[in-house]
Amino acid sequence: MHYAVVVDKSNSINSPVVTVVPLTSVKPHTNIKRLHRGNVFLGNELFIHLSSKISTLDRRIEEDIAEIQKAVPDFKTALLSSDNELRPTLERFERFQKEHELLQRTRKEFSRMKTGSIALVNQIRTISKIRIYDPKTNYDVLSGVKLSNEKLDLIDNEIISLYTGQ
């Protein structure tokens, strides 16, 4: 499995394929000032985005825990209760559980990630959406992780340079 940047801006949700530029991590011996033609250094942007996502999830989960504890001091009794007033709190608890699972998966992915990414524009390809592992839903690790417009422009310019000769 590889990370990739989707470059198919106007891709229909009904389309079975999407165009991507694969990514690779910066190796210790890589000289980022002398990359091969077709490679674009993206810096630590993806690493920073995932780190930020972890911090945001941490903060949100802590707030959820505090709010649930304030609303229902004896949560075990509340789970057994059929009190309709507790329904919103129990629904929030279910959302909290999903976010907590997402946080755990995100931390695991983050621990495997290396700093520094290179877009392999010369390996651009169209793939089946069936091959996309993550993200598929809003509760997936990479959901909402995007490159800045500046980095996307670097990729666009390299595509233009490689395939139009400009």
Token representation of residue 140: 């997936």
Tell me the domain boundaries of the chain: 4-164
Per the CB < 8 A criterion, the answer to whether 26 and 123 are in contact is: no
Identity at 157, one-letter amino acid code = N
Per the CB < 8 A criterion, the answer to whether 102 and 53 are in contact is: no
- Under 8 Å CB-to-CB from 134, ≥6 apart: which residues? 140, 141, 142, 143
Per-residue model confidence (pLDDT) at position 142: 74
Q: What percent of the chain has pLDDT over 70?
A: 85
d(C-alpha 54, C-alpha 56), whole Å:
5
Q: Which residues does residue 12 pair with via DSSP β-bridges, in sequence order?
A: none
Per-residue model confidence (pLDDT) at position 133: 79
Per-residue model confidence (pLDDT) at position 17: 94
Instruction: Kindly state the average pLDDT of the residues 25-32.
Output: 82
Q: Which residue has the higher pLDDT, 62 or 153?
A: 153
Region of poorest pLDDT, from 12-16, 123-127, 137-141: 137-141
What are the pLDDT digits (tens) for 37-77? 899 998 888 778 877 877 887 888 778 777 777 766 665 56
